[in-house]
Amino acid sequence: MTTVENGSGTRELTGKRALVTGGSRGIGAAIVRRLLDAGAEVLATARSATSTVPEGAAFVAADVRTLAGAEALAAAAHEALGGVDILVHNVGGARPHPSGLAIPDEEWQDALDLNFLSSVRLNALLAPGMRERRSGAIVHVSTAAVVPPAPPFLHYQAAKVALENYSRGLAAELAPSGVRVNTVSPGRTATPGGEATRKHWESLGVGPGAVGTPPLGRDGRPDDIAHAVLFLVSDRASWLTGQVVGVDGGEYPRG
């Protein structure tokens, strides 16, 4: 038997078709790589293709902040893959602000569209197919840093908390059809987006967690998050749904 080093040691996702949003770099690219190594056929998406889209993945350009963008992406996924068995909503981010009250209305809308409604819309388009086939796995990528709520990220945190709550509710709705829905909540992870956000945050001189080291002694690597996602979409997690899994080096313990 041929095995590939993918964290599980097997091509356990052979025959599965996966769509990963924000799959061109950072955590998303690591997730794409892990799913490919595990044998899945993977379609990565972002607004533009880059050299960091992992080799072996198909790519489609889409902006997921609008319903039209989600519809175009779902149609492209059907065309490229014939259906989606694994859906990883990794796209997300926001620009920090020194005052929550000063976040402009359009940035609130943008944060909600990017971090929350993009998943709601794409699930509405693609999860019914999973339910019909009575099989599928959905993972939402949130953030461990939803507590304490802090002004630089009130819009981002509110959107991610909404995402986590929605994820639990969708898990309950889809469980009878065998479709599983979970959330992975990363701590600070070395990615292009994470680095840009941290620099901006530190330049504001506000906010908890901007400096220092997580209890496990280092910042996260994209693969730390990708391993958790791989586990959750695999059959090894077949009795696991409606969970929020923090992958954060111990920085944000939750009750």
Residues with catalytic roles: 156
Q: Which is nearer to ligand NAP, 11 or 206 (CB)?
A: 206
**Contact yes or no for 166/177 (Cβ under 8 A):** no
Q: How many CA atoms lie within 13 A of 201 on its CB side?
A: 21
Q: Helices 192-204 & 26-37, crossing angle to 10 degrees? A: 160
Paired strand residues for 46? 61
Which residues contribute to the site for ligand NAP (CB under 6 A)? 22, 24-28, 46-48, 62-65, 90-93, 114, 141, 143, 186, 188-189, 191-194
Q: Which is nearer to ligand NAP, 83 or 93 (CB)?
A: 93
Q: Which is nearer to ligand NAP, 173 or 195 (CB)?
A: 195
> Which residue is closest to ligand NAP by CB?
193
Cα 121 from Cα 116, distance rounded (Å): 9
How many helices (H) and strands (E) in the chain?
A: 7, 7
| Cβ 135 to ligand NAP shortest distance, Å | 25
H or E segment to which residue 108 belongs? helix 105-112
| Cβ 220 to ligand NAP shortest distance, Å | 7
| Cβ 11 to ligand NAP shortest distance, Å | 25
